Each structure stands twice: as C-alpha cells, then as structure tokens.
Structure 1
Amino acid sequence: MIKIIILWLPVIFVLSACQSKNVDSLNPKTDVKVENGQMVALSGKRKISGIYPHLTTYAHGRINGEYGFGSECGIGALAEWNDKLYMINYAAHQPKGSEHKLYIIDEDLNMEIFEGSIGGTPTARMVHQESNQLLIGPYVIDSVGQIRVIPYSRMEGRLNAYARHLKDPKNWVYMYDMEGMLYEVNVNNLEVNKLFHDPLPGWHGKGGYTSQGKLVVSNNGEHASEGRTTHDTQDWDNNEYKWEESWKIDKKDIFGADKLGILAEFDGDNFKVVERSQFTDITTKNGIYAIPNDDSPLWAIGWDAKSVRLKVMDNGEWYTYLLPKATYNNDPPHGWFTEWPRIRAIGEKKMMMDMHGMFFDFPETFSATNTAGIRPIGSHLRYIPDFINWNGQLVLATDETSIQGNPLAGQPQSNLWFGSYDELSKWGPATGYGAVWLNENVTAGGPSDPYLMAGFDKRMLHLKNHGDRTVTVKMEIDVNGDNDWTTLESITLEKNGYVPYVFDGSLQAEWIRLTANSPSLLTAAFHFTDANPNDRTQKEALFTSLADIDDKGPVSHAKLYSNKTNFNLSVYAGTIENGKFTKEDEFEFTKFDFDYKKGISDSTAQETLKMKDIWSEDDASVILTAKNYRLRLPKGHENYASNFPSGTTRVVREVESERELANIAGTFYELPLFKVGQEPLYKMMRPVSTHNKQISDFNTWNGLLVLTGVKKDATDSEHVYSSPDGSTSLWFGGIDDLWKFGKPVGIGGPWKDTSVKANEPSDRYLMTGYDKKSLTLKADKDAQVTLLVYVNHYLEEPMEYKIFYLKSGEEQHFEFPEGFSAHWVQLKSNVDCTATAQFIYE
C-alpha cells in the first residue's frame, strides 16, 4: 500500500515571486516545492477569469519545464474525496503509462502531485460503496487518503469507465478501456482479470455504467471510416477490422452508412447491440457514487450526423430523444474529438449535461414517463472532459493546449476553471442546430424521434420534400413531457417542395415530433437561436485595454509561443506599420513570476513567426479561400482591412485541443477540424464575437487565453501585465471571455456592383450565428434573383427560399422574419446583369 507522503528534504527548494512594481493583489506570491527536480506541490492565489495558473497540469512534472513526451494533456476526471479534489490528466494514446499525474487539491487550492503517478490515458472515476474507496484511473484511494496503484503491466489500456459488477459487486468492479477491453478488478487485493479483449465493433471506448441488471458500454468511433460513407463487409475486412472474429454479437446488419460507434448491453454473459451510433457518457442520477442494485433510469449521450442522441433505458426498455448541436467540433467519425461529454450532478440537486459545445440543465427525474426539464444553458469554446461542484464552486476540467498537428505550441498543458453556474449562461448563446430527417426515406404514419423544443427563444423548421409526390407532414408537441402528444399543425409539401416554418415565440412545449402521411424522401432541419446572444455588459471593463481598430495611439503587438524547453511564454514584441509586423524585442513571460525576462531561450519559438493568410477583401465582403472552394463572410468594420490588413495578424490557431479559432477582419470564428493536420471544416464554422480590436495574436498558455494588441498606456490589472519598461503588454483571460466582446455583426454579401452571369450561383455567404438579418438588393436590369439557403451541414442541396423581382436601378430591402436562420446563403440571377446583394447583420 502506498501512502501520500511529501518529505521536505534538503534537496527541496521553494520558488516564489512577487513583482515589486505591482501590489500583491495584482501579482500574488506563487510557491513551488521541488524534490529531485520534480514538482511535488504548488500553491498560489493569482486568479484570472476563474483560472488559477499554479494549477496548470503538464505532460510531466520537471521543474525546469523541459518537455519530453506526450502530445496531449487533458484533465480527464475530477472527483471529490476526503474533502479534497482529485484529478488526473491524460496522454493522447498511452495504454502502458506516461509521465502524466494524479493531483490532489485542498480547499485552499494547495496542490500536491502524487509521487507514485503512472500516467497513461485515464478518465475513469467511481466510488465503490462497499469498500468506501475512490477509483480514479489506475489509482484506488481509501477513506483516509492512502493510494494504491494498479500497474499497467497488470491492466494495460486507456482506462475510461468503472462500473459496478453484475455478479460480485461487493468485491469486484468492471473496467472498460478505450481499446474495447473489458476487465474485472478486485477492489480488495487489486487482482485483475481480462474478460474480453475486443467484444464489440467500433472503437474509442467511452462510457460504462451498471443499472437495471445490465452493464451498458459505449464507443464513439470507427477505425475504418474517414467519412460518413457506406462500407460493405469486404471493405471493413480489408481495412482495420481484423478483430471481427472476436466480436461477441450477431454481425448481421451492423455495417453500413452512419453505423459508427456503438451502444451495447452486457448481462454478465452475453452482449447485445442497442444502437450503432457514436456514444460517450453513460450514467444514472447517482453518477460516480454508483449505488448497489441501481434501478434508476440510465442515460447515454451520443450523436449522428443529424442530432445529439439521448438514449434512456427505463425498466429495461430503450427510448430515444434528439437535441440540437451548438458546434460540430465533435462530429468526426473517428471519435477523437469528443472527450469526455458528461452528465453529472453539480450541487443543490442540480444536474448538468455538456454535449456538442452546449450546457444543458438535466433533471435527475428524467425518465421515459417524465421527460420534462431539459433546458439549454449556453454554449462554450472550452473543451471540457469533466466537471464537478466542489468547495462551493463549479469546477470545469479542460483539454487545452495539445501539440498534435499544432506547431504553434511547444508542449501540452491544461487547467481548471472555477466559477458559478450562473456564469455559464453569460458565455455563448443557447443556439443549436439539428434534424430528425436528412434527405432520407420516411415511411408513412411512423413518428420521428422526439426533438427538444423547450428553453430555446427562437425556433424554426426547414421542411423539404425531395420526392416526386405531394406529402403532408404533421407536427405534434408534448407540452408537459408526459407523452401526451397533440397536433400543432400540418404542412403540405408539393413534390420537390420546400417550406420554412417559424414557430410562434409563445409556444410552450417540451418536445416535437413529425409524421408523414405518405412515404417520401424528406428533410426536416431545426434551427434554434438565442434572443439575447452574447453578453456585452462586461465589454468595456474587460477589454478597454485592447486597442480599437481606429485607435491611432501606440499599441503593443507581439507573436506568442508556449515554450517547449520551459514553462514560459515566448513573446516576440514589435509594431505593425504599413501592413507589416516588425519584431523589435524578445521576452519570455515567466510561468511562476508572471514577469518579463529578456531574451527567448526556446529555438522552437521561431514557429510562431510563421503566419498563413486565408482571407482577403473586396468591395462586397471578406473572402475566405479554402483548398477547394471559397466562401464569403461579413465585414465587421468597414475600415478593418485597410487599417489592419491580413498578413500582419495571426489568422488561424488551435486554442483548445483539436479546436481551432480564426481571427478574420475583426471577428473570431470557431473552426471545426475533421482530422489533426488537415484543413479546418470552414463550411461548418460559426462566428463567436465581433471585436474590431487590433488583436495581432492569440494563444492559450498556463490555462489562460492570451491576446496581443494592448494600448501602450494601459494600466496593469487582473488582465493586463506590462514589461518593466512599458514597451510590451499582454492581455490575459479565459477562452470563453471571447463571447463578451459582443454578438457577431457585420455587413457584406456575394455581390457589390458585381458582373453576374445568368443562372450562375454566387459564392456562399455565411449566415450561421447572426441575429437580426436583412438584405439589400439592386440590379441594373429587370431581374429575378433567387435566394438559396443551406440548412444542414450534411446536406449539400440548397433550398429555394425566395425570389425577388427587381426593377432596373431600384433597390429592394428585405427583413428576414425574427427567428429565421440558415447556415449559408447563395444568390443567382435569371439574367446577366450588374448586381448588388448586401446582408446586414445587426
């Protein structure tokens, strides 16, 4: 048995810092205790936007900060035990261990690092009631804090889910790993038995939980799939599915389009496939405090191309509910970018679900007979593997800076966020998108799965009949979440017909479902948007130190790099003049002192001086040039490109692990990735906020968001730190502070006095995520201009929304209905002409 003992031997030394130029409240002391070159404890009081920099975790614990190995460092699991917060971080793919650590934080935020840590890729956590032990990753912790370790030589794998045992729960637990292995572990002597090596199709194991006499497990990816395509059995056999002979299920009808990942049951002897979709967390209201003989409704969260999927097992039967996606970061079929959405208690009898970039209130009463109470809270940019209510605060874990395909960071690092539940609704808007049908064959009379309606301000439905016969679609709502369905309205679609339907804002309903009166090929895509997107109330106080685009005074610009050879931030300071960044000085901003040190010691920091342009501007709009297509975006400020041209600023950067952000012409955009190292999925981008500031670089470091472009006369504060000579300043905050710049706005379109060819569609122009929308049209000839809308990212076919009949030289102005939303818009004219089409987003 290993006990945590921190010995302060003569080889231990203490690092502390307090800048004399700042008062202690602005730059409080940080202490680091070191033994044999390794950090063993840290303490500090510095707090910036809910983040304590001294709690940053790395892929190692060396005090000199020199990175060795491990391309990722997410904080995979949080648990309260013995009045302390326990957390583990994880490597990208290390089933045999790594230098990553187990951390123990007390109520004063003093952090100890367990000297017996063995790392790996663990995210599992469960309290075993009978033995009164916390199981977290490979560590077993008793009621007085003694820690035992299950070595990877005994239980190799990426440990992602503990669950109660079906046959001997007093003495054993199940461990389900990411490679699909199912173990049983004796909680007394830590004996390990491997029950199955790879019993199920799919890969990237995620969830596991025992309820109603069954162990339910999930995985969220496919080895053989690089896209949502159809595979026949031979395709899979010739690809990576060499383990098919070990599967313990009926293999009939388990291959095909969108059959990616799995949700499956195990009764102690046999497995049964529940659904071939990508699933992550599985739990009941008891969460990590798994109780004996749990018969509570069991919840599993996953997704497909259409929507977030919530599966409920109630009295042994399965039910399905659909919810919108705020972001498409999680969607790739390999499953790598979905670590680890959760449903768990957050105190005061509240539960919360985090899935596809959206927080939801989740009622602990949710069952097949009582489905009321799920409500959107808001969306976020932070990549959140776990969260917990601890020490009177909500704590969010993060998977922050990775270096997988990311040359602009030297080593991976992640931190925690501390705050309140109420703060979450002040981040991103409660806006999401999804579908119940997506260009698919729908049978007559069979209702769709229920789709969440409650809690969203503005709601609309895009209905398209791709078939060659008329069909009527009936909309039914469940007002109270009690399965009492009433008809709302029926909509008739002609062959190849399209109807946009905006719901009345006063409509009260928990769920909606659709039914077709005859078979047809149909799309039913929902767009739900927030009536009050993005909180602006803190904008001036939070960002007043950043220079506006029209400011003429001196500004501190810099290029940033999170160091590989130490824990510091490399800062290439300089100026921007005549469309060029000129380096004038070099600093390292120090991790522990939060001070500037002359010179840059890390040669890899040179990577940060390389910048790639993807945008330009013409009279009509911003032009985004991707590898095989181009898109158009609004101008957030009419003078942005002339004052701060592309080429002087950082445009694209990974800011959360496997998530990229773009700073284009005064607006931040989130860019989903499909695969590390590949071009982002620009067609799935969403705007975050319009800042119209001189932000020349942005980076995540030490758990913080760092922005450059600070006015040289800015006063030091919680968010601003300046060099002793005042020549260089940096802004520090949290990643989700970006929403507080205010909602995205802008003007632009595909045409402005543009020569247009008849029936030739314009470039696509972005509409996702914008609030009040209108359109101004003009042509030099009589013309019919058709407005096409793209309503789902997995449907390339646009819908014909409206035809405008233009008289030569006369301007038309069109206000979109409140609640109208689409992802992209496109225009075409029936004649050759010179035309203007400008969208105004207010």
Structure 2
Amino acid sequence: EIGEKDLLATMHGTFWRFPAAFSLKRSAGIAPRSNYLKVIGDFARWNDRVVFGCDDSAQKEFLNHRPFKSARGAPVQSNSNLWFVDPARLDRLGPAIGRGSVWLRDTLAAGQVSEPFLFDGYDYRMLTLSHANPEPVTFTLEVDRAGNGTWEKLRSFTVDRALVHLLTDAERGAWVRARVDVAVQSATVHFHYRNKDPRGPANAPLFDALAKAGETPRSRGVIRSNRSVLSLLDDGRYYELNNRLELSAPEPATGAALVTEGAQPESGIRLDDASLIVVEDGKTYRLPKNPAYTRTPAPAPQDTQRPTLETLLPRSLAKGAAATASSVHQTYQAAFAADGLLDDDSRWIGSGPDSWLALDLGAPKTFRSVFVATGWKREAVYAARDFDVQVKRGTAWQTLPGGEIRGNAATVVGVRLAEPVTAQAVRVLVKDAGYARLYEVALFEDQPELRDADTSRLAFARVCREVATERDLFNIHGTFYELPARNAQGFAKIRPVATHNLAIHDYASHFGMLFLTGLKDTQTGDHVLASADGRTAVWAGVIDDLWQLGKPRGEGGVWNGTAVKAGVPSDPYLMTGFDRKSVRLLSAADTRITLEIDVDGTELWVPCQTFTLKAGDAQTYRFPEGFSAYWVRAVSSADTTATVMFTYE
C-alpha cells in the first residue's frame, strides 16, 4: 500500500497496479505501470516518496561470467542503497513488456483447459499457437471479461502446425484461457504483450554532458566500485569518489591496480556486413549495428598470427644498449634489461620508490613504440604498477605521451606513439615502493601487435558489467541492453533498454547509483561530479534513468549479400523490445525466403511470413503494428546469395 487507490506490486521487472479489493470474484484490474531495471527487495511509502530497498551490487556474480566481460570487474564489496521515487514516476519508466505461455511444448489430453492468463492492460497483444500433431488442431480461447469467474468463448483457431495472430481491441477481457478438444503433442499457447513506446530518438537533457558518438570525450576514465569509494583511472591519473560524492586524487594511488584488473577485455564480439555477432555458451546471436560506431570491438587475432615480445627482441633498437640503474639487487644487473632475453635470471631488479633504469642507445634512434616487460615468473602480481617511460631532452627527462603508466596489472606493457620519437637515452622510472623488476625494455621502429602485451587494457569501452544483482548491462553500438545472468537463460533473453548514440567509455554501479564516464564537459550539469583538479568527472544517476535515453532502434540482419544454402536457417537476430519494424529482402536467384520467429527465447521457432523472390528483385515488408517476437531468422528454399536486413525505428 503506497497511499493510492490501488496497491503497488512488483514482479519480474514490472510495476503493477493491483486492486486493493482483489478476490476470486473481483479479479479484474491488474495492469502494468512500467518496466524497471533495479532488483527490488522491499518498498514502502515514506512522506511524498516511495522508497525501495534494492539489491544493487554483488561481489560474487553467481553463474554470471561471460567471455566478453571482465572476470575481475565486480565490486570489491557488495553494496546497496535505498531508492527514493516520486509515485508519479512509477508510470514513466520503461514501456511495459510482458510475455508468457499457458502451455509450452506440453502434452495435452482431449478437453484439457489451461490456467487463466492476464489478458488486459497492454496496448499490443500477440498470440502464437503451435503443436506437433500430424493433423490440424483446434484451439479455443475463452475469456473472463469482468474478472468475476464467468467464462465465455472468444473464438477458435484451427492450426496446422503453427499460427500467429495479432489480437484486436474487440478481443479483450480480464483473463483468457485455452481449451483443446483432442489430445495434442508439444502444444504451445504463448502471449507476447507490450505497451506503446512514447520515446523519440533524442536523449533527455540530463545526459547532455556525455560525448556523442564520433566526438572525443574530455574525460574517458575506467571505474570500479572499491568498498567505500568509487575508484577511477583517467589518463594515467587515479581518483576516488567518496561517500560525499567528492572526487579527488589521493596519495598513494592504492586502488589503481583494482581498476586496471577490472577493465574491459577484448570482447570477441564481431561485426560483418549484416550485423553484430555475439557468441555465448556455443550459440550465436545477432544484434543491430550502428554506422556511427566505427571502432567495433573485435576479437584478438589468433595467437598463431601475433608474435610474442620475446620473438621480436632480436630487432629491438635497445638490445645491447649501455644500461645504468639507481640500484641493483643482488646479481640482477641493469644490463639484463637490454640483453634480448626474458628469463627470470636475466632481469634488472632495483629497490625503493623512484627506482630507475636508463639505457644509452649509443646514438640517436627513431622509434614508434616502447615495450616494458616486468615482473617475476611472468606473473602480473609482481609487475611494476606505476611507472613512467621517459626520454632525455638536454639534461632533463621527459615522459613520453602515453608513457605515464598507473595501476598496471600486465607483465608486458606497450606505449604506442602517435608520432615517431628520436632520442639517444631512454629511462623507466618506477614509482612503486619495494622492488622494481624489469625483464626487458624494447624499442621498435614500428608498432607491432603482440599477443602477450596488454597495450590497451584501459582503452576498450565497457561492453558488459553487472549493475544490479544477477542482471548485466550490455552496451554495444550505442544501445544499452538488459542482459539476464547465464543461470536465467542468459543472452537468449536479452532485451534493449534505450539507444543513446553516446561515447560512453565505462559504467558501474556503486552504492545504489549508476556512474558513467565519457564526458565532453567535466564542469556543468546536475548529474556531473567533477574532480577537485577539474581534469576529470563522472556522470551520476541510477540505472532506471536510462529509460530517458532514446527509443531502441537500429539496422542489421541475418544476411547481407551472403551465400546461403537451401533449408539451412540463419543465425537468430534480435527482435524483442523494438517498435516499428520492416525488412528488406533480395536474392540473386529465384527462391522463397521464410521468416521464422522464436516467440519466447527458448528456440521455439514458428514460421511467420514467406516471400517469393525473383532473381534481383527486392521486396520490402513492414510488420504490422504490435508484431513482435524474441528472435527472427530466415530460411531460403534454394542455394543463393541473399539479403535479409531489418530496420527498427
């Protein structure tokens, strides 16, 4: 009870109006208000707000590890908070989507009647019927129009294998149930509901401080929830956001390594001419692509295609250089860092903060990259965390662009230079207390891609992170998606939240709030928290603010000038959660292309539309308003080169 006529109910990510007088004979009136992203444990009215107790950030991500997600990106400590909401806002979060089946691949007896299913409260409702009987089966829908327990026949459908029907406004009632008059094998009666999405393409003004796709953000940090603070690394500088929402640079930078180890790895998500391609648990899925995002996360080349640093050391410009150091531990001489070897017995080890190793190349040399191999036993736990890569200019040492390394957690670190640098003396200045351990310092005239170098660990934009307990936020090509944990059917049940077309670099939940990086303006905006030195900032809000971004939209498909085999289905392409939909089809040969839909995300595929195509003649089809499914795929009747591309508006 929240002080309104109806009670408030929460279930499966939907706020519901629930009649206070609900009973067996007065069961009408349950209706969705909106969808939400938080995980809500309890709630109550307090003054002029509804206060929700939420499960926000979990340290242990139960069965929720993914190949395109950092294995160390979870909060260092679980944390949650209260969420204070204006009651009117409960109707203005995400457009409500609801799905469910009264029978799903069930074996039915003749005369069997299903349990009731909610039949009202949504703008669009779609019914899918299917079975495995060799002969057509008649399914009869019955409705309880007033919610008083009085059932009447609505209509019957004679179904040969499968049927999809968009329910009309005349076909309404409080509850619906299904009946069959014969025994049925693998019977499904599925309902797919959704409300109109009133959003347009524009983001709400509260996101104005974030850079748009194609713009260069002024602040592009990597963040992680770190006990009582939010830790941030931005352009080699370490910051902490405290519980008073003050962002400053502490000394020492103790949390930098935690941020680095939780950074986004190479995602393995691919892009072809048709769409984005994601693989999870051996299954392939396709998502809309966005031409505004040219830097698509791509898989690392196979290890056999990329050399290791060790194989390239013979051509290092620093091999054999004269080496000096601030100190030497036991027999680990400075010269070992330029001998072309990566052996534990052939390292330089110094001690104390501001330890340094300097190399004299004998003459000025021009190079485009510097690689520093550091640690012991090739384990990152012994790697140098904070160090500067420098060259000598006159009598002074100058740090190279990108050479200020902070919070490192890799054994091989590369510094790629935008412009060639010419110098005779190079130095590595280690800021860590304790031992400084360097296997090798290597210089190259080019910028080799190494399979053992973590050269861009902080450069990858975040693709996936858990932001509410057992719910990931997936961000790709300018669209946020809600992604259930793998123990909740995982990628098969993904759905879009909003399309933002922003240059968001990282995001994390911390103390019940959502923080974003990738700001074009670090000083202005009610949601902007700027650092004390003015050099960086984060955007702050809650995850359900994301509904105020643009309506989900995109382009892509299953084939785009693709060679296809007769009778072989394409990969599935996401359809759920998008509004207006159309498809363009083209074939190089005469064929029939059938679109099949997975109505509930469990690979229950049913045909929905067949197109007869003449060679070279394109067809465009706009789906009826309200039509939707979880996934869609295509099957051609002939070998051909085909295009099946969807537009979601």
Task: Compute the TM-score of the two structures, normalised by the length of structure 2.
Answer: 0.71
Whether 1:571 and 2:197 are equivalent positions in the alignment is no
2:373 match: none
Q: SS in structure 2 opposite 1:606? A: helix
* 1:569 partner amino acid: L
2:534 match: 726
Judge conservation of contact 1:778–1:812 (CA < 8 Å) in 2.
yes
1:358 match: 14
**How far apart are the structure 2 equivalents of 1:554 and 1:614?**
24
1:699 match: 508
5 Å-filtered alignment, 1:331-480, equals 345-405=1-61, 407-408=72-73, 409-480=75-146
Residue 487 of structure 1: CA displacement?
Answer: 1.9
**How far apart are the structure 2 equivalents of 1:434 and 1:593?**
42
**How far apart are the structure 2 equivalents of 1:401 and 1:536?**
31
1:818 match: 625
Change beyond 3 A, Cα 1:507–1:422: farther
Name whichever of 778-787 and 645-654 sits farther off. 645-654
* 2:549 partner amino acid: F
* 2:539 partner amino acid: W
2:568 match: 760
Size of the aligned set, in residue pairs, is 477
Q: 1:659 aligns with which of 449, 468, 471?
A: 471
* 2:231 partner amino acid: S
Whether 1:595 and 2:258 are equivalent positions in the alignment is no
* 2:507 partner amino acid: F
* 1:690 partner amino acid: T
Residues 234-290 of structure 1: CA distance to partner in whole angstroms, max 9, x if unpaired?
xxxxxxxxxxxxxxxxxxxxxxxxxxxxxxxxxxxxxxxxxxxxxxxxxxxxxxxxx
**How far apart are the structure 2 equivalents of 1:630 and 1:643?**
18
Judge conservation of contact 1:536–1:742 (CA < 8 Å) in 2.
yes
Judge conservation of contact 2:601–2:631 (CA < 8 Å) in 1.
no
**How far apart are the structure 2 equivalents of 1:605 and 1:693?**
22
**How far apart are the structure 2 equivalents of 1:764 and 1:625?**
11
Whether 1:546 and 2:202 are equivalent positions in the alignment is no
**How far apart are the structure 2 equivalents of 1:432 and 1:691?**
24
**How far apart are the structure 1 equivalents of 2:487 and 2:642?**
39
Q: SS in structure 1 opposite 2:461? A: coil
Residue 644 of structure 1: CA displacement?
Answer: 8.0
Residue 460 of structure 1: CA displacement?
Answer: 0.6
* 1:586 partner amino acid: Y
5 Å-filtered alignment, 1:616-695, equals 616-635=270-289, 637-642=290-295, 648-675=460-487, 681-695=490-504
Q: 1:517 aligns with which of 159, 169, 181?
A: 181
**How far apart are the structure 2 equivalents of 1:569 and 1:447?**
55
Runs of 4+ in structure 1 over 4 Å off: 535-538, 643-647
Residue 524 of structure 1: CA displacement?
Answer: 0.6
Judge conservation of contact 1:614–1:626 (CA < 8 Å) in 2.
no
Change beyond 3 A, Cα 1:501–1:607: same
**How far apart are the structure 2 equivalents of 1:436 and 1:632?**
29
Q: What stretches of structure 2 of length at least 5 have no aligned partner?
A: 62-70, 300-458
Whether 1:555 and 2:218 are equivalent positions in the alignment is yes
Q: SS in structure 2 opposite 1:424? A: helix
**How far apart are the structure 2 equivalents of 1:657 and 1:730?**
22
**How far apart are the structure 2 equivalents of 1:670 and 1:641?**
23
Q: Larger Rg: 1 or 2?
A: 2
Residue 709 of structure 1: CA displacement?
Answer: 0.8
Residue 708 of structure 1: CA displacement?
Answer: 0.7
Q: What stretches of structure 1 of length at least 5 have no aligned partner?
A: 1-344, 575-583
5 Å-filtered alignment, 1:167-206, equals none
Residue 604 of structure 1: CA displacement?
Answer: 2.9
* 1:624 partner amino acid: V
Q: SS in structure 2 opposite 1:423? A: helix
Judge conservation of contact 1:779–1:810 (CA < 8 Å) in 2.
yes
Change beyond 3 A, Cα 1:610–1:514: closer
**How far apart are the structure 1 equivalents of 2:158 and 2:171?**
21
2:339 match: none
Judge conservation of contact 2:138–2:158 (CA < 8 Å) in 1.
yes
Q: 1:785 aligns with which of 573, 585, 593?
A: 593
Change beyond 3 A, Cα 1:610–1:689: closer
Judge conservation of contact 1:612–1:651 (CA < 8 Å) in 2.
no
Judge conservation of contact 1:589–1:597 (CA < 8 Å) in 2.
no
* 1:596 partner amino acid: S
**How far apart are the structure 2 equivalents of 1:549 and 1:506?**
45
Change beyond 3 A, Cα 1:840–1:536: closer
**How far apart are the structure 1 equivalents of 2:536 and 2:41?**
35
Judge conservation of contact 2:275–2:557 (CA < 8 Å) in 1.
yes
Residue 793 of structure 1: CA displacement?
Answer: 2.7
Judge conservation of contact 2:529–2:539 (CA < 8 Å) in 1.
yes
Residue 350 of structure 1: CA displacement?
Answer: 2.8
**How far apart are the structure 1 equivalents of 2:91 and 2:109?**
39
Residues 767-799 of structure 1: CA distance to partner in whole angstroms, max 9, x if unpaired?
1111111110001111111111111233x3411
* 1:681 partner amino acid: G
Change beyond 3 A, Cα 1:510–1:545: same
- Aligned CA RMSD, in angstroms, stands at 2.0
**How far apart are the structure 2 equivalents of 1:643 and 1:684?**
23
Where relative contact order (Cα < 8 A, 6+ residues apart) is larger, the structure is 2
2:634 match: 827
Residue 725 of structure 1: CA displacement?
Answer: 3.5
* 1:461 partner amino acid: L
Residue 593 of structure 1: CA displacement?
Answer: 4.8
Whether 1:586 and 2:238 are equivalent positions in the alignment is yes
Judge conservation of contact 2:267–2:298 (CA < 8 Å) in 1.
no
Residue 605 of structure 1: CA displacement?
Answer: 3.2
**How far apart are the structure 2 equivalents of 1:510 and 1:788?**
30
5 Å-filtered alignment, 1:84-103, equals none
